[in-house]
Amino acid sequence: MWLAYIVAGICVIPAALSKSELATAMPTSGGTYVYLYRTCGPLAGTISGLGLWVSLLLKSS
């Protein structure tokens, strides 16, 4: 069981690092969503926000 947690943690590291980089670039809540919302519009921001949430959810499982 502990091996599954280690593998899941390793899989999440790239996503966590990219999210933390965007969060420091735009210090408002929801870094990636805010960036895409401002650059590409509300539809792209919503789709990417949901996609990032699902990707983190599936990577951790």
Query: What is the tens place of the pLDDT at every residue in 21-56?
Result: 777 777 776 666 777 777 888 888 788 878 888 888
Q: Give domain status of residue 14, yes or no.
A: no
Report the 10 Å Cβ neighbour count for 29.
Answer: 8
Q: Give domain status of residue 28, yes or no.
A: yes
CA dist., res. 59 & res. 4, Å (int): 11
Q: Give domain status of residue 49, yes or no.
A: yes
Q: Give domain status of residue 26, yes or no.
A: yes
Q: Give domain status of residue 55, yes or no.
A: yes
Number of structural domains (the chain) is: 1
Q: Give domain status of residue 39, yes or no.
A: yes
Q: Give domain status of residue 30, yes or no.
A: yes
Q: What is the pTM of this model?
A: 0.46
Residue 56 is predicted with a pLDDT of 82
Residue 3 is predicted with a pLDDT of 92
- Positive/negative CA dihedral, 29, 33, 37, 42: negative
**Is 61's pLDDT higher than 70?**
no
**Is 6's pLDDT higher than 70?**
yes
Domain that holds residue 40: 19-60
**Is 10's pLDDT higher than 80?**
yes
Q: Give domain status of residue 13, yes or no.
A: no
